[in-house]
Amino acid sequence: MNTKGNTALRRPLGKRILDRWQLYLLLFLPLVFLIVFSYVPMYGVVLAFKDYKAGMTIAEAPWVGLEKFTKFLTSFKFTTILRNTLALSFYSLATFPIPIIFALMLNAMPGQRYKKLIQTVTYLPYFISTVIMIGIILSLLNERTGAWGSLYMNIFGRTAPNILAKGESFRHIYVWSGVWQSTGSGAVIYLAALSGVDPNLHEAAMIDGASRWQRVIHIDLPTILQTVSIMLILAIGNIMSVGADKALLMQNSMNMKYSEIISTYEYKIGLSADLPTDYSLSTAIGLFNSIINFILLIIADRVAKKLDGSGIF
Amino acid sequence: MAWRFRESIIFYKEDPKMKKLLALLLCAAMVVSLVACAKVTDTDAATTTAATTTQTTTKESTAKESTAKESTAKESTTKESTTKESTTAPPVDEIPVLKVGYIPDSNVTDLDDNDLTYYYEDLVGIEIEWVELPADLNDAISKMNMWIVDGTTDICDVLIGLGLGKTAKEWGDAGFLLNWSTHTDLMPNWCAIPEEYLEQAYSEITNADGTIYSLPSLNLNYWNSGYFRYRMNVAWLDALKLDVPTTTDELKDVLIAFRDNDPNGNGLKDEIPMTGMAGNDTYGSNTLYMLMNCFIYFDGFIRNTGLSLDAETGTKVIAPYATAEWQEGLRYLKSLWDENLISSSYFTHTYDTLTAEMNTGVDLVGVLCNGSNGIYQDRKSGNNIAWNNMTMVQMPVGPKGFVYSIHNPQIAWDYAYVLADGNWELGLKFIDAMYTEEATYWANIGRYGIDWTDDPAVLAKASNGLIEAGVFDKSVLVGASLQSIWDEPNNWHWWGVGACMYPMDDNVIFGSTNPEAWDVYKGLNWKYNRNFYEHEIPTLTYTDDEYKQISDAIVYIPDYVMECFAGFVTGTMDIDADWDEYIGTMNDMGLETLISISQTAFDRVS
Amino acid sequence: MDSFKKASRGDRVFYVVITVFLTLFFLVVLYPCVYVVSASISSGAALNASKVTLFPVGFTLDSYKLVLADSTVWLSYGMSLFYTITGTFLSVALTMCGGYVLSRDDLPGGKIFITLFIIPMFFGGGMIPNYLLVSKLKLINTIWAVILPPSLSAYNLIVARTFIRTSIPREMFDAANIDGASDLRYFISVVLPLSKAIIAVECLFFGVGRWNTYFTPMLYLTEKKLYPLSLVIRQYLILNKINVDKLMDQEKAEQALNLVAGMKYALIVISTVPVMMLYPFVQKHFAKGVMIGSIKG
């Protein structure tokens, strides 16, 4: 009985809490972990406003206010790295529907065995480490010794152009190699959601004469829409988190304008072995990213709420 | 509605496995939570104590730092007793344990049961406990930073096999590493090293404030001090009846001939006249950087952010990549690029793709500058075409009549550090034991009598690449190797975990009776790759304040120079029109400050 | 349900089209997998010469021999299995409990709790305070340092919550309520059995995540006996690069490299085997019709 809106019938807070004591019991353990491992260490955020050097405790480090943020925001390359980070993020976000489409197709495909095979194999690249993956890609794209080169030579009879020399290709390779690697694993959650589709709906639709295609659009898709919405919101909340590993491996002298992103800057200035580690700076950069991510998450959530009432909060 | 719920109850009841699983789940969850809770409440009390302990440890280390800075023997005895108090005094008969942190090498089959380990254990009178560090240097530094934060600085006594760079100074100031400049009395072997090497070593490892944290490997290995090895396909020269080009203009003509006249004789114009790998960290594969030395001396950012001294007086610090001579060099290289004389993959090569280009099975490459012989795969069997046809030749001189070899005169390489909080006396003794010829030979050539010998009868028949090339006389030979210790993983030396600490050059003083082991190319390298610049700049050390001002420039400038280098040569940037912007950007990055501060640093040591 | 034989002509076209697309994608994705397997059975020299493109060159089982002869690999394999199983168990328990509770509209303070869970997803203290915490809890160099800290994942909790909300309708709860079932009973008897799919997914996510994680074990463990396989693999991956800072003669460095070039691929193959075996079990729970009989109309 939902008495939320009805203030007359609403019981006092204390009673309501006692009513639901079992829920609180179940929540107890997750809360303990949350507080101990997520909230207790949170004080470290203050490092962003201090100048921390090795050998100090966090308390001992001197306050420097916004100095680290200023260093980062007024840094020589700031506009470039911000632009590149956002470009990669939005580009990656644009490929968000691909695992969904893949899951829908796989779900609609006849042939159980083959389907399972495809599912298992497409999941595997997720395990191949970035180092090896990028090595494979760079070898393939070599215009003389790679598959790209051989193919071009066979078709056009002359040496292929060097794709890697064009700076813009960095973004394309970055994003599409990500699709290559994570579509299979990204589709898992949607496949799970699709397992909840009511087969009766399908039977009813088939009786009504709907084609398989129509059934996908009108039954499968709406069923997983809430899941899609949440995954999208969470993805938006991760926009600034573009890791440094892949970009560093793919950087060359021709694509520096496109391949320097926030995390590579952070790595070179703050974490590289040549210089003393600057934890304050990396905390400040992390905080900067987090604030933006958080704001975007709230916005995305509000929008989702307005559109179809779903959302996290 | 009720019947639906009952259905699911039935569903649930009929599944005993599920029931058991869930019950197990909840029980486990409860147990874990109790354990975790217990630990949390435990440590609420411990938190306050832990916080104070960290504080005290830091205070102790600051105290140690000030003691280290003063150089009276009395201070060191006080430190000694403090350390002795904190560790339980071992019984007289027990052998002290030295905890050695190291970066692993997967070729060592066993580090504990290892002949070289036993050697040191016997010599120094210790038992070594090996503490493995993460293989990635950044990971290792993160981990050790956490030790410092946490105050648990007794996990290791010494660190070997890694180079901490600037981090060493930071850790030294924090009291984590030992400043051993005041303890050379405990290091007889180090002090016995010939004066000339010691002097240079000290100038390279001493910080601006007089502290020394690094215990370096003094490696004279000439082979690795200049690794831009310029090779040309002499088979092609023969096929086209050309001579080795002696000037940059002649080189261009030869490259054009390579491109057009089908020297590999397969009827296709598939030749790549010149190749290499662009980048600032390519171990000698950046052919175009090497060619810039025909116009001005430039060391490819090996040291001092690529700065060098002016040619006229040798007293002014300059940035070669911001000069008019650099522009000239760029024009020359651009003319090569425009004529398709440089591999189209030059600026996007990785080591793997360069290797692939060199090993297609077809004789494809005319000129290459490269440090590592590894790109000539399978060369020992004689099957590598490029290796067979290409050989080191003299470098072409530029329009002003000179060409310089990129050379790193540094002899002190980061290798070992002693931790201030551990058994540092023993640690120093241990590292000092490596500074002998005996130990150094072992690390590089192997065990005396088994892997190498100095039997005069054998020596008479032995030789090496430098002797064969006529650079040295047979009398320099100290030993002849009997078998290679680098062929198979083994446990009788430390591979990359060890280093040559005592200054020597094994390319010179060791030989072999097997002619195949006389690396003739090493002799050629001596012949052709020693056009040293007259005014080589020493390795500069900066004070902390100076460093703060230039740290950004040091990070930004090399990448930017490389980026623009690629742009200028390939034509996406105009050498004349865009030059001012190029210089201006570098000044924004702090180039002028870098030069002036480096001038101060240089004046300090000269 | 999707049977080619019984399908209409329009549907058959549809089936063919999607099968073709999926097959193409499958082949493209298959390539790196085949490459890694081929590389693991190729000779070191061929690998360093970049001769391996699809099929093995210089067939050799040496890489596997070297890997399997290393006792650290076996030990860390066992440790990884232990960490993954216990950790996943714990994580899934936390996620399902939390996800269920937060899916309830009538939980007083629900919104506050959700916000509480989400904030740490964005704001964290970083390496230093986390290390200090684990140290103060006396967990450094113990298995708990690897198992406990990553147990709660707010991200997965939200996904689970969404799943429970959308697939288990309000009516079920009302029915259970009428029948006198308590919140706890409802959770155990209804929610969990019906959540098999999401539990399976969470098992997969957490399992894979824990199996691959290497950074925190690297940071918190000094005893080699406790290392997980992921850390051992990372050591090999790093050690197999030509390090221009290495003090030895480059000649020797290269020689050494040839010997171990194939090991990183062999290690990846070995490391992926458990996941490949786990996946079909998990897939079962994605099968359609899990909800049959629970909801009608």
**Mapping DSSP to helix (H, G, I), strand (E, B) and coil, where does residue B342 land?**
strand
pLDDT at C99: 93
Q: Which of residues 140-169 of B touch C (CB under 8 A)?
A: 142-143, 146, 149-150, 152, 155, 163
pLDDT at C49: 72
Q: B247 and B198: one domain?
A: no
Contact across the interface for C18 and A2, Cβ inside 8 Å: no
Quick one: average pLDDT of B527-550?
Answer: 90
Quick one: average pLDDT of C206-233?
Answer: 91
Q: Which is more confident, C246 or A311?
A: A311
Indicate which of A42, A104, A229 best probes the interface with C, i.e. most C CBs within 10 Å of its own CB.
Answer: A42
Q: A1 and A101: one domain?
A: no
The shortest CB-CB distance from A54 to any of B138, B176, B278 is to: B176
Close Cβ partners of C269 (under 8 Å, ≥ 6 residues apart) = C36, C37, C40
pLDDT at B199: 93
Asked if residue C245 has pLDDT above 50, the reply is no
Q: Which of residues 417-436 of B touch A (CB under 8 A)?
A: none
B318 - beta bridge partners? B308
Residues of chain C in contact with residue B378, where contact means CB-CB under 8 angstroms, are 45, 49
Contact across the interface for C189 and B8, Cβ inside 8 Å: yes
> Which structural domain range is residue C135 located in?
61-284
Q: A32 and A89: one domain?
A: no
B470 close to B476: Cβ distance less than 8 angstroms: no
- Cα torsion at B441, B444, B448, B453 (round to 10°)? -90
**pLDDT band (50, 70, 90) for residue B50:** very low
Would you call B28 an interface residue with chain C, using a CB distance cutoff of 8 Å? yes
Tokens 């078709």 belong to residue: A155
Sign of CA dihedral B106, B494, C217, A68: negative
Contact across the interface for B174 and A53, Cβ inside 8 Å: yes
Would you call B333 an interface residue with chain A, using a CB distance cutoff of 8 Å? no
pLDDT at B376: 87
Contact across the interface for C118 and A125, Cβ inside 8 Å: no
Q: B95 and B67: one domain?
A: yes
Q: B171 and B291: one domain?
A: no
A245 close to A293: Cβ distance less than 8 angstroms: no
Residue C20 lies in a domain: no
A229 close to A304: Cβ distance less than 8 angstroms: yes
Quick one: average pLDDT of B267-283?
Answer: 91
pLDDT at B45: 33
Q: B101 and B181: one domain?
A: yes
Quick one: average pLDDT of C13-26?
Answer: 93
Q: B296 and B216: one domain?
A: no
B446 close to B493: Cβ distance less than 8 angstroms: yes
Q: B149 and B174: one domain?
A: yes
Residue A178 lies in a domain: no
**pLDDT band (50, 70, 90) for residue B68:** very low
Q: B296 and B271: one domain?
A: yes
Would you call B20 an interface residue with chain C, using a CB distance cutoff of 8 Å? no
**pLDDT band (50, 70, 90) for residue B462:** very high
**pLDDT band (50, 70, 90) for residue B57:** very low
Asked if residue B194 has pLDDT above 90, the reply is yes
Residues of chain A in contact with residue B164, where contact means CB-CB under 8 angstroms, are 273
Which other chains touch chain B, taking contact as 3+ CB pairs less than 8 Å apart? Answer: A, C
Contact across the interface for A162 and B344, Cβ inside 8 Å: yes
Contact across the interface for A132 and C29, Cβ inside 8 Å: no
Q: How near does any CA of chain B get to the CA of A111, in Å?
A: 29
For residue C254, give Cα distances in angstroms to B225, B334, B484, C141.
17, 33, 14, 35
Residues of chain A in contact with residue B34, where contact means CB-CB under 8 angstroms, are none
Residues of chain A in contact with residue B347, where contact means CB-CB under 8 angstroms, are 165, 252-254
The shortest CB-CB distance from A26 to any of C101, C106, C115 is to: C101
- Asked which of A21-25, B85-89, C174-178 is least confident by mean pLDDT, the reply is B85-89
Residues of chain C in contact with residue A179, where contact means CB-CB under 8 angstroms, are none
Q: Domains in chain B: how many in total? A: 2
pLDDT at B49: 32
What are the pLDDT tens digits along chain A (313 aa)? Answer: 454 555 556 678 888 888 788 889 999 999 999 999 999 999 999 999 999 888 888 888 999 999 999 989 988 889 999 999 999 999 999 999 999 999 999 988 888 888 888 988 898 888 888 888 898 899 889 888 888 888 898 888 888 899 898 888 999 999 999 999 999 989 988 988 888 888 888 889 988 888 888 888 999 998 888 889 999 999 999 999 898 989 999 999 899 999 999 999 888 887 665 677 888 988 999 999 999 999 999 999 999 999 877 788 8
Q: A22 and A102: one domain?
A: no
Residue of B nearest to C130 (CA): B146
pLDDT at C59: 87
Q: A300 and A189: one domain?
A: yes
Tokens 């393939």 belong to residue: A140
Which other chains touch chain C, taking contact as 3+ CB pairs less than 8 Å apart? Answer: A, B
Q: Which is more confident, C170 or A88?
A: A88
Please measure the distance between the N-terminal and C-terminal CA atoms of chain B and give it in whole angstroms: 94
Q: CA A279, CA A277: separation in Å to the nearest integer?
A: 6
Q: Domains in chain C: how many in total? A: 1
What one-character DSSP code corresponds to residue A62? P
Asked if residue C214 has pLDDT above 50, the reply is yes
Indicate which of B11, B26, B32 best probes the interface with C, i.e. most C CBs within 10 Å of its own CB.
Answer: B32
The shortest CB-CB distance from B142 to any of C93, C219, C252 is to: C219
Q: B88 and B157: one domain?
A: yes
Residue C87 lies in a domain: yes
Q: B246 and B395: one domain?
A: yes
Residue B50 lies in a domain: no
Q: Domains in chain A: how many in total? A: 2
Q: A26 and A121: one domain?
A: no
Q: Which is more confident, B46 or A6?
A: A6
The shortest CB-CB distance from C200 to any of A20, A47, A192 is to: A192
Residue B44 lies in a domain: no
Which other chains touch chain A, taking contact as 3+ CB pairs less than 8 Å apart? Answer: B, C
For position A92, which CATH number holds?
1.10.3720.10
Contact across the interface for A57 and B55, Cβ inside 8 Å: yes
Indicate which of C9, C105, C152, C206 best probes the interface with A, i.e. most A CBs within 10 Å of its own CB.
Answer: C152
Residue B531 lies in a domain: no
Would you call B356 an interface residue with chain C, using a CB distance cutoff of 8 Å? yes
* The pair of three-digit structure tokens given for residue C77, joined into one six-digit string: 């394999």
Name the nearest CA neighbour of C117 among C89, C158, C149.
C158
Asked if residue C283 has pLDDT above 90, the reply is no
Residues of chain B in contact with residue A149, where contact means CB-CB under 8 angstroms, are none
Asked if residue B88 has pLDDT above 70, the reply is no
Residue A168 lies in a domain: no
Q: HEC states along B92-133? A: CCCCCEEEEEECCCCCECCCCCCHHHHHHHHHHCCEEEEEEC
Residue B604 lies in a domain: no
- Asked which of A35-44, B69-78, B449-458, C148-157 is least confident by mean pLDDT, the reply is B69-78
* The pair of three-digit structure tokens given for residue B202, joined into one six-digit string: 């000290």
Residue A170 lies in a domain: no
- A154-178: buried (b, 16+ CB within 10 Å) or exposed (e) per residue? eeeeeebebbbbebebbbebbbebb
Contact across the interface for B372 and C132, Cβ inside 8 Å: no
Please measure the distance between the N-terminal and C-terminal CA atoms of chain A and give it in whole angstroms: 22
The shortest CB-CB distance from A53 to any of B51, B170, B352 is to: B170
Average pLDDT, chain B: 84
Q: A201 and A91: one domain?
A: yes
Asked if residue B32 has pLDDT above 60, the reply is no
The shortest CB-CB distance from A234 to any of C50, C155, C212 is to: C155
pLDDT at B60: 29
For position B353, which CATH number holds?
3.40.190.10
Indicate the helix (H) or strand (E) that contains B218.
strand B215-218
Indicate which of C220, C247, C295 best probes the interface with B, i.e. most B CBs within 10 Å of its own CB.
Answer: C247
Residue A161 lies in a domain: no
Q: Would you report the helix, strand and coil content of chain B in percent, each value rounded to 5?
A: 50, 10, 40
> Which structural domain range is residue B268 located in?
227-406
Name the nearest CA neighbour of B473 among B511, B430, B434, B426.
B511
The segment with the largest mean pLDDT, out of A133-137, A262-266, B246-250, C211-215, is B246-250
Indicate which of A144, A258, A283 best probes the interface with B, i.e. most B CBs within 10 Å of its own CB.
Answer: A144
Quick one: average pLDDT of B429-452?
Answer: 93
Residues of chain C in contact with residue B519, where contact means CB-CB under 8 angstroms, are 251
Residues of chain C in contact with residue B34, where contact means CB-CB under 8 angstroms, are none
pLDDT at B120: 96
Residues of chain A in contact with residue C108, where contact means CB-CB under 8 angstroms, are 13, 16-17, 20
Contact across the interface for A253 and B170, Cβ inside 8 Å: no
Quick one: average pLDDT of B284-310?
Answer: 95
Q: B243 and B328: one domain?
A: yes
Q: CA C76, CA C225: separation in Å to the nearest integer?
A: 7
Quick one: average pLDDT of C155-160?
Answer: 92
Asked if residue B579 has pLDDT above 90, the reply is yes
B275 close to B351: Cβ distance less than 8 angstroms: no
Indicate the helix (H) or strand (E) that contains A266.
helix A262-266
Residues of chain B in contact with residue C245, where contact means CB-CB under 8 angstroms, are 163
Q: What percent of chain B has pLDDT over 70?
A: 85
pLDDT digits 0-9 by tens, B394-403: 999 999 999 9
Q: B322 and B349: one domain?
A: yes
One DSSP character per residue, A209-235 reads T--HHHHIIIIIHHHHHHHHHHHHHHH
For position C156, which CATH number holds?
1.10.3720.10
> Which structural domain range is residue A24 located in?
1-36
Name the nearest CA neighbour of B244 among B235, B234, B252.
B234
Residue of C nearest to A113 (CA): C280
Residue C230 lies in a domain: yes
Contact across the interface for C122 and A290, Cβ inside 8 Å: yes
Residue A49 lies in a domain: no
Q: How near does any CA of chain B get to the CA of A34, in Å?
A: 12
pLDDT at A268: 85
| Nearest-10 crossing angle of helices B16-69, B2-13 | 70
Q: B87 and B182: one domain?
A: yes
Residue A199 lies in a domain: yes
Residue B458 lies in a domain: no
**Mapping DSSP to helix (H, G, I), strand (E, B) and coil, where does residue B506 land?**
helix
Residue A80 lies in a domain: yes
pLDDT digits 0-9 by tens, B358-402: 988 899 999 999 988 888 887 878 889 999 999 999 999 999 999
Question: Residue type at A190?
Answer: Y
Q: Which is more confident, A313 or C64?
A: C64
Asked if residue C114 has pLDDT above 90, the reply is yes
The shortest CB-CB distance from A32 to any of B36, B164, B562 is to: B36
pLDDT digits 0-9 by tens, B561-572: 999 999 999 999
Q: How far is CA B406 from the centre of its chain?
A: 16
